[in-house]
Amino acid sequence: MSGPDDHDSSRDHDSPRDDDLRSPTLGVEARGLLQRHRVAHLATADRAGVPHVVPLCYALDGDTLVFVIDAKPKRQRGTALKRVRNLLENPAVALVVDDYDDDWSTLAYVLVRGRAAIVREAGETTRALAALRAKYPQYRTMTLDGPDHPVIRITPERVHLWRAS
């Protein structure tokens, strides 16, 4: 989907959603787009900067985004997965969720750039898994604890919302 890149500072400076366009936090519109969608695409890079993008299930937990390495079949498990190895080497990540339609006047996306980290605190893990299980019924029957299922938090540093109209 094409649209202004996130360096285009000439668009919508005076719009009521300016806070959503260039913010380190999730504004109302960005949060709404993230809550409506079921799948995001996560971009990570290793220490050499080689990119890796995967679709994933995610949830909002306050002002952060969380995901878990779940029990769906994978070649590797836990921290051996490429996305986890990458964020351990280079915690800078980007996550995008988009509205696509053949009516291009309705196109929209939110791009969240931030820092990813494995959640180590038990209370935060419990809260994150509760948010994920509330959003995805499939997670309610999955065992999601232990080293094969790390929970990862993304703390937004920059949030960019774009709408065609």
pLDDT digits (tens, 9 = 90+) for 73-130: 556 565 578 899 999 999 999 999 999 999 999 999 999 999 999 999 999 999 999 9
- Model confidence at 50, in pLDDT bands (50, 70, 90)? very high
pTM metric for this prediction? 0.83
CB 39 within 8 A of CB 56: yes
Going from N- to C-terminal start, the domains of the chain cover 20-163
- Model confidence at 67, in pLDDT bands (50, 70, 90)? very high
Residues 6+ apart with CB under 8 A from 54: 41, 42, 83
Integer distance in angstroms from the first to the last C-alpha of the chain? 14
- In Å, how far from its chain's centre is CA 22? 17
CA distance 114 to 124: 18
Q: Which fold has domain 20-163?
A: Pnp Oxidase; Chain A (2.30.110)
Confidence at residue 2, expressed as pLDDT on a 0 to 100 scale: 44
CA distance 65 to 155: 7
Mean pLDDT value across the chain: 85
